[in-house]
Copies of this chain bind each other. A is one copy, B any other.
Amino acid sequence: MAGAAPSKSRLRADARRNSEQIRAAAIGAFQGQGLTVPLEEVAKAAGVSKATIFNRFGGRIGLIEAVIEEVVASELFAVIDHTRTIDDVGERIAYYLTAIRDLQYRQPAFNDVLLQTYPHSQQLMEICRVGSEANEELIAAARASGALRPEFTAADLHALVVDNALALKHGKRPPRDDYDRRTIYLLDGIRGRSSPSGER
């Protein structure tokens, strides 16, 4: 712990308190409205002025990077990790796509990461990269097992998710049960004919 945040101890007490309030407000705002929420709104929720966000975090990207772990990265990585533990490839795909779409529905910020709204943030780009790798890994496994139709590519999967991100970002969110039903249509459309439900 020592040395991890030496700069913090150099902060005055009020500054440290404000930083914490801003972080908390940012987490709430990003989760509710995505990463593009006006900084003014975050500031208001934190009870400080917009300029203080610039003082403490240097701007939107600094603020995002200070909280992105809690807002989306941890959840995304949990999904990816859990996906890897599923043996049956058909199930693995169903779980992955469902979980990603769930994340997209619940966390507008996730879509902003996915759509690379802030390409200047290394950290955000890194999250994207990890996601893409998970995609490709999954498609490779699917191809080997025939769980997906053979012509289905990683680019197809990517497009599926990105298009959904755009629809959620720019359109109006459907009721949850409609959304979930449509997830099933998607899964059925990309599944291979061979293993309709696999073993077990």
Contacts and interface: CB of A to CB of B under 8 A. Distances in A.
Interface of A: 149, 151-152, 155-156, 159-160, 162-164, 166-167, 169-171, 174, 178, 181-182, 185-190
Given A163-B171, A170-B170, A151 B181 contact: yes
Given A186-B189, A189-B188, A166 B170 contact: yes
B181 A171 contact: no
Given A152-B185, A185-B189, A188-B188, A166 B171 contact: yes
B166 A181 contact: no
Contacts of A155: 178
A34 to B, nearest CB: 14
Nearest to A160: B182
A194 to B, nearest CB: 14
A99 to B, nearest CB: 19
Contact of A170 (B151, B169, B189): B169
Q: Top 5 nearest A-B pairs by Cβ distance?
A: A189-B189, A163-B167, A185-B189, A188-B189, A166-B167
Contacts of A159: 174, 178, 182
Contacts of A185: 149, 152, 156, 186, 189-190
Contacts of A190: 185, 189
A193 to B, nearest CB: 10
Contact of A163 (B149, B156, B163, B181): B163
A111 B34 CA distance: 25
A94 to B, nearest CB: 13
A108 to B, nearest CB: 14
